[in-house]
Amino acid sequence: MGKRVLLGFSGGVDSFYSAHLLKEKGYQIHLIYFKLLKEADTAKVKRSAQLLNLPLTVIDLTQEFKRVVIDYFVRYYRLGLTPNPCAVCNREIKLKYLYRLKKELSFDLIATGHYARVAYEPRFKRKMVYRGIDRKKEQSYFLALVEREIFDSLLLPLGELTKEEVVKRAKALGFNYEGESQDICFIPEDYTQFLKKYIKPKPGLFKLKDGTVVGRHRGLFYYTVGQRRGLGISYKHPLYVVELCPEENTVVVGKKEDVLKEELFLWRTNWHAEPEEFKGRELLAQVRYRSKPVKVKELKYLNSDIYCVKLAAKVEAPAPGQVCAFYSGDLLLGGGEITREGAGRWREA
């Protein structure tokens, strides 16, 4: 008999084909669907499970998801930060509860449909995550905050495939592919419309770094660091959002060069290998999901879990609240949250 695997299942094409691949390899698969929203329809999930002829269990995590992800998302925008709900959800909901169930039910392994690879890394003597081969889709960045003990039990069947291949093969099995899901699963509309349900917009001032007032803004959550479009300011040169200041309810704007940074600070770091272990390796830092990794000149521990990261080249608009992930080549070494003087602790309820 093959090893018993709990597979995180959404009913979408990625988890569907992941389950098919593992089933074909002889694993005993049990599908787990975490219901995260009250309005979530499980009909599609059940149809996908029936097509695979695999057992499915639906687990209601709506309260946990509201507390850990949605409340965090709203709180960060209220603080003038830019949240990363997918990275937090992977750590605190999806992989955390899947791993917990594996232990409670005495399963051997867990699996998800992320486009990333997991393999044994001889130098660190443990299983670690690598980038997926599909550079347009690969999702290792969103696993930077996941606790490393989970990787010993994790299977990532799609890491060696492209999205195009997965869709084509799933369709051949009878899967009804309806296109990509939305970027943020709990926000079907524009995110500012969602936030208005929780935060009353408070207009304030646009200021230059020297304090000069150049206009009025609609409310902090309409803006993010690096933003240029939609400011509604007429000025002698293009303006970009440099900083959000919730204490004064102001948005600091400036030139493009003002959002380019070669030094940033992190906290809430999560290492898949300790910094001492990868000392001497060339490090790369990635400050957003789609951004190009940049060589790290220096990674220095300061105090109170704060790291200073000095980069070999400037990066555009590293936003406080976002995740900075570290790599050695394709190997994911961990990551942390970009911070401004320690604001916004995402682990707090």
State the CATH architecture for 200-254: Roll (2.30)
Q: Which amino acid is at 94?
A: K
The predicted structure's pLDDT at residue 177: 87
Mean pLDDT computed over 36-54: 94
When pLDDT is averaged across residues 142-160 and rounded to a whole number, the result is 97
Pairing of strands 116-121, 4-8: unpaired
User: Which residues, in sequence order, are bridge partners of residue 116?
Assistant: 131
Identify the CATH number of the domain defined by range 260-338: 2.40.30.10
Measured between its terminal Cα atoms, the distance across the chain in Å is 43
The DSSP string of 140-192 is GGGGTTS-GGGGGGEE-TTTTS-HHHHHHHHHHTT-----PPPSSTT-SS-HH
Tens digit of each residue's pLDDT (9 = 90 or more) over 302-341: 887 889 999 999 999 999 999 999 999 999 999 999 998 6
Tell me the pLDDT of the chain averaged across its residues. 93
% of the chain residues with pLDDT over 90: 86
Active centre residues (catalytic): 89, 185
Architecture field, domain 4-172:
3-Layer(aba) Sandwich (3.40)
Residue whose structure tokens are 């509201």: 66
Q: From CA 173, how far away is CA 106, in angstroms rounded?
A: 31
pLDDT band at 345 (very low <50, low <70, confident <90, very high): very low
96-110, 139-153, 247-261, 298-312 — which is least confidently predicted?
Answer: 298-312
260-271 and 284-286 beta bridge pairing = unpaired
The residue length of the chain stands at: 349
The pLDDT of residue 182 is 65
Query: Are 323 and 336 in contact, with CB atoms under 8 Å apart?
Result: yes
If you average pLDDT over residues 8-12, what whole number do you get? 95
Which pLDDT score is estimated for 89?
Answer: 97
> What is residue 184's predicted lDDT score, i.e. its pLDDT?
78
The least confident of 61-70, 152-161, 177-186, 236-245 is 177-186
* CA–CA gap between residue 162 and residue 63 (Å, rounded): 34
Please state, in angstroms and rounded to a whole number, the distance separating the CA atoms of residues 33 and 66: 17
The residue ranges of every structural domain in the chain are 4-172, 200-254, 260-338
Residue 349 has pLDDT above 90, yes or no: no
pLDDT tens digits, one per residue of 263-275: 999 999 999 998 8
Q: Which of 194-203, 207-216, 295-304 shows the lowest per-residue confidence on average (mean pLDDT)?
A: 295-304
Average pLDDT rounded to a whole number, residues 38-61:
95
How many C-alpha atoms does 142 have within 13 Å on its Cβ side?
A: 25
Give me the mean pLDDT over the 122-138 stretch: 95
What pLDDT was estimated at residue 227?
95
Q: What is the pTM of this model?
A: 0.93
Quick one: pLDDT band at residue 241, thresholds 50, 70, 90?
A: very high
